[in-house]
Structure 1
Amino acid sequence: MLNSSKILFIMIMATGTMITVTSNSWLSAWMGLEINLLSFIPLMSDNTNNNSSPEASLKYFLTQALASTVLLFSVVLMMLKNIIIELNHSYISLMLLSSLLMKSGAAPFHFWFPNMMEGMTWINSIILLTWQKIAPLMLISYMNFNFLLKMSVVLSVIVGALGGINQTSLRKLMAFSSINHLGWMLMSFDTSEMAWMIYFLFYSFLSITIIFMFNIFKMFHFNQMFSKFFNSKIMKFLLFMNFLSLGGLPPFLGFLPKWLVIQQLSMNSNFFMLFIMILSSLITLFFYLRICYSAFMLNYYENNWMLNLNFNFYSLYTCYFLSFFSIFGLFIISILYFIF
């Protein structure tokens, strides 16, 4: 349950993000990022049942503080560029972009992200995977699509795809999935600002749906996925269908944002990037399908006793509702498109 202090920190965090998004200067954007950082750390630390939470909070603070330092240094150099010293503007842009990529967790500045996710609760993971990416991505969208951003796209989709193979931790799997999807969102900057917003909204919805199911069933590793659904085959089916939707398999909802990016890359004749990104999606779908095959086709041992899972029927029906749009969302959008 959310107490008054958590609600206060969430409101301050949302305020910091809004300051960054609506700012008209890099200095005010940096201030919004700092407000967002300092309000998210108490939310991470307020977890007495998890011994890894203080370590994750410290890792997050050090990493974000380093990125903020580089960002502020770049802003100062940008202000002094035409006054005192002569600097190449491209070097300042690279420093600025590097700090924002580190804040968002994109490759090659991703090393802190999976290990920190391992020490967080599912509720904090939702915030980190969705809301905490809004401000850095919005600032990145203001910049030119240069060589560093293209390299980050390629590395993000490759690292996100290969890093998820042979993972036994669900939190690390969601972290590498986020890195992979972040590469797609960065690539959508080359098309239009609306493209990455649409991709981010669909990715956030799918991530919230899956993590909500993980949270109510208290699942953190793969072996729990085969034993906690013995009394609810429907929930087992919905969970793995949501996995396939997150991987972008048609005809699920997760295929729609990737479809838009693929269409734009084809129109721009950027076939090299298109090949790399589609290949990474196939690798991602490979281990998702391998998990689903193991769950549905093989005869796993099922316990004879009932587990006492602390969730109510409202949470159960919420899973049904979210999963319905995750699985059949593409059909619904297609029908609405042809009607209107």
Structure 2
Amino acid sequence: MTNLYKLIFSLMLMMGTMISISSYTWMGTWMGLEINLLSFIPLLKSNNSSYSSESSIKYFLIQALASTIFLFSIMIIMMKNNLISNILDINMFLIMMINSSLLMKMGAAPFHFWLPDIIEGMNWINSLILLTWQKIAPMMLLSYTMKFSNYIIFIIMMSTLIGSLGGLNQSSLRKIMAYSSINHLGWMMSSFLNSEMIWVLYFLMYSFISMTLIYMLNMFKIFHLKQMFSLMNKNILIKFSLLLNLLSLGGLPPFLGFLPKWMIIQYLSINYMYLLIFMIMMTLITLFFYLRISYSSLIMSHNEMNFNYLMNFNMKMSFSMLFLSFISINGLILCTILFNFN
């Protein structure tokens, strides 16, 4: 019965996103966002935990506030007449309100304060949905309304800055993933300045690497760094797969995570060199705390397990985990070989 209602709400979640991105009217997009929100709340409350209840309430309040701002903006756009638009430049202000509400929904800086706190009370599966699928509709709607590049450039710089600095002193892996997602949002929005197709490729690769990493963390029930250190002494193959996936998520060459950054660097180097230099510097900070986790995991030794979980996984699970890790780690090399052959 539990799996049945999870399946129903998951289908409604996907349906809400599809309604938003395929609607011809602003009211249709708002309805799709609300269906998506009301379908995700029961999935957050799947386990009987006070942390999940707190996360679901906070998530509902933040998303309801963003939806209210979005609805208020589109109602003014629908009601305004030509006289007002001639006297005041109201279009720019309203579009900035719409963009701000969408940025709040996806958790981009400086509207990000709810994301790390809420994700701390979720399990890994809900965290994966929040970091990947829940960003599709706001990102696509943002691409439709992005007319003022200066505002978007400010958001891109804030997202890369806060996403890099926020993860420096975190011990929770879920908060580290949240701040990493904020940093990646800055890179995704920068792709809107040139080509939306790059955003699609970036989002697909980011989702795949996040799915691979969260699949491994969920398999061993790892939520904090000290648990990772305890795991590292058990299996050398799992250790290197997990650490290399972290570096791939950070965008370190020659892993798959560097490929979408490489494409964005090529496009931004033509017209937005100052923005590109700032983004690369902030991404180096992100790579710093990923390398710090990897370095600490390799040299530190913990003989006692800090969590009660037996690592007895079957061959099918281990094969799928290693296969996904192989693609995430060697994807850039494989793409380069295929490109050279063509």
Residues 2 and 212 of structure 1, relative CA distance in 2, 3 Å threshold: farther
| Larger helix proportion of the pair | 2
Contact residue 227 and residue 305 of structure 2 kept, 8 A: no
- Deviation by residue 1:186-220 (Cα, 9 ceiling, x = unmatched): 11100111011111001001111111111000000
For 2:102 and 2:130, the matched residues in 1 are separated by 15
Q: Map 1:126-141; keep pairs closer than 5 Å.
A: 126-141=128-143
For 2:137 and 2:204, the matched residues in 1 are separated by 14
Shift of 1:304: 8.8
Aligned to 1:198: 201
Residues 179 and 304 of structure 1, relative CA distance in 2, 3 Å threshold: closer
For 2:65 and 2:131, the matched residues in 1 are separated by 20
For 1:307 and 1:18, the matched residues in 2 are separated by 38
For 1:314 and 1:241, the matched residues in 2 are separated by 21
Contact residue 216 and residue 310 of structure 1 kept, 8 A: no
For 1:102 and 1:162, the matched residues in 2 are separated by 19
Q: Which runs of 5+ in 1 are unaligned?
A: none
For 2:101 and 2:312, the matched residues in 1 are separated by 41
Q: Map 1:207-286; keep pairs closer than 5 Å.
A: 207-268=210-271, 270-286=272-288
Shift of 1:319: 1.1
Aligned to 1:71: 70
Aligned to 2:330: 328
Shift of 1:311: 3.6
186-195 vs 1-10, greater mean Cα deviation = 1-10
Structure 1 counterpart of 2:17, which letter? T
Q: What is the TM-score with the length of structure 2 in the denominator? A: 0.95
- Deviation by residue 1:111-166 (Cα, 9 ceiling, x = unmatched): 00000000000000010000000000000011224322111100000000000101
For 2:165 and 2:154, the matched residues in 1 are separated by 16
Residues 167 and 331 of structure 1, relative CA distance in 2, 3 Å threshold: same
Aligned to 1:43: 43
Shift of 1:229: 3.3
For 1:331 and 1:236, the matched residues in 2 are separated by 21
Aligned to 2:125: 123
Residues 159 and 7 of structure 1, relative CA distance in 2, 3 Å threshold: same
For 2:187 and 2:224, the matched residues in 1 are separated by 26
Q: Do structure 1's residue 312 and structure 2's residue 311 form an aligned pair?
A: no
For 2:149 and 2:91, the matched residues in 1 are separated by 13
Q: Map 1:25-174; keep pairs closer than 5 Å.
A: 25-48=25-48, 50-82=49-81, 85-86=84-85, 87=88, 88-143=90-145, 144-174=147-177
Q: What is the TM-score with the length of structure 1 in the denominator? A: 0.96
Aligned to 1:301: 302
Contact residue 253 and residue 326 of structure 1 kept, 8 A: yes
For 2:231 and 2:297, the matched residues in 1 are separated by 12
Aligned to 2:22: 22
Structure 1 counterpart of 2:301, which letter? Y
Partner SS, residue 251 of structure 1: coil
Q: Which runs of 5+ in 2 are unaligned?
A: none
For 2:174 and 2:309, the matched residues in 1 are separated by 22
Contact residue 43 and residue 124 of structure 1 kept, 8 A: yes
301-310 vs 22-31, greater mean Cα deviation = 301-310
Partner SS, residue 323 of structure 1: helix
Shift of 1:338: 1.1
Contact residue 145 and residue 189 of structure 1 kept, 8 A: no
Structure 1 counterpart of 2:60, which letter? F
Structure 1 counterpart of 2:28, which letter? S
Shift of 1:271: 1.3
Contact residue 19 and residue 32 of structure 1 kept, 8 A: yes
Partner SS, residue 109 of structure 2: coil
For 2:320 and 2:232, the matched residues in 1 are separated by 17
Residues 65 and 310 of structure 1, relative CA distance in 2, 3 Å threshold: farther
Structure 2 counterpart of 1:256, which letter? L
Partner SS, residue 50 of structure 2: coil
For 2:187 and 2:198, the matched residues in 1 are separated by 10
- Deviation by residue 1:54-107 (Cα, 9 ceiling, x = unmatched): 000000000000000000000001111226844511010111000000001000
